[in-house]
Amino acid sequence: MKCLIVDDIHPFLIEQLERAGIFVEYNPEIDKKSAAAVINNFEILVIRSKFKVDDLFMEKATNLLMIARAGAGLDNIELSEEFLSRIQLIHAAEGNADAVAEHTLGLILGLLSKIAAADRSVRSGNWDREKFRGLELKDKTVGLLGYGNMGRAVAIRLKGFGCNVISFDKYITEWPDENANRVSLETMCAESDIISIHIPLTHETKAWIGKDFLKMTKKCPLLINTSRGKIVKLEEVLGELENGSISGLGLDVFEDEPPLKKNENIPSKYERLFSRADVLLSPHIAGWSLESYEKISIVLADKILLHFSQQKGKFGSFQC
């Protein structure tokens, strides 16, 4: 059995696959065209975010049995039912849930305490304590939109701050723990002082969070997004921030990544976004800790080896 890895990955994954008798070709510099030219030689493809795996790519992947994504979500894998029926898809959301949760808390605390704006002010020679009087997180109601790996990790940390944590997730049939109370979408929006987004990007969620969604809010909440940028209609959300319907915006992800490209004019929405002190931004690094880099490989190795060990005998020299 052979595995092609087309993105940078912690060596733990390679070591574990090779120990199990799987041949690994590690080529993090390969582009999509070159990968498509050789993919028919491999049963396993490991990818992060380098390129989109689509039907045209899969037409070349005649022997592929599994696509493993080194991260959370599968939004860069867009396949028809024909290919989905024969391909095992896995990801490693468990590997970076802690990193995402801590970054989410950082964005919340940074906005409540106005840390970034205060830092810039002090560096400019000012000492305006009243201007940067902040708010406490304790006793705030935090609404988590989505209660999968990321949402649950955030809830655990919020409980330690003395928050009232509520969550809406339409796909969970049995609520998994006591760290967040399950509520309707309308209740979550109406009662939350802070709303944090932890849902995957799908056809259903794309461009979901905009003016209409925010009409359901009642308490002028902070809005935090560490999931996927295309879930949020930035132009509309920015308009709601400007008219006072929300009180702050923390974004780790954007509709366009990177939002600014060399030799291009700055889009108006980004000029407006970057000029605001009630906005806190980071470059899609919420799940990008040194620890998560290794943990993602550990999770993928476990899932890959478990899957093929359950199919033992079908794959020749595989020794899991």
Instruction: Compute the C-alpha angle 268/215/247, nearest 5°.
Output: 60
Residue 284 among the catalytic residues: yes
Annotated catalytic residue within 228, 240, 242, 255: 228
Q: SS3 for 50? A: coil
Residue 257 among the catalytic residues: yes
Residue 39 tokens read as 């993919």
DSSP string, 130-174: GGG-----TT-EEEEE--SHHHHHHHHHHHHTT-EEEEE-TT-SS
Name residues whose C-beta falls within 8 Å of residue 210's C-beta, 6 or more positions apart in sequence.
Answer: 232, 233, 236, 237
Q: How far is residue 308's CA from residue 302's CA, in Å, rounded to a whole number? A: 10
Question: Is there a contact between 161 and 108 (Cβ–Cβ < 8 Å)?
Answer: no
Annotated catalytic residue within 182, 276, 284, 307: 284
Q: What is the largest CA-CA distance in the chain?
A: 71
Annotated catalytic residue within 15, 257, 271, 291: 257
Which residues are catalytic, by number?
228, 257, 284
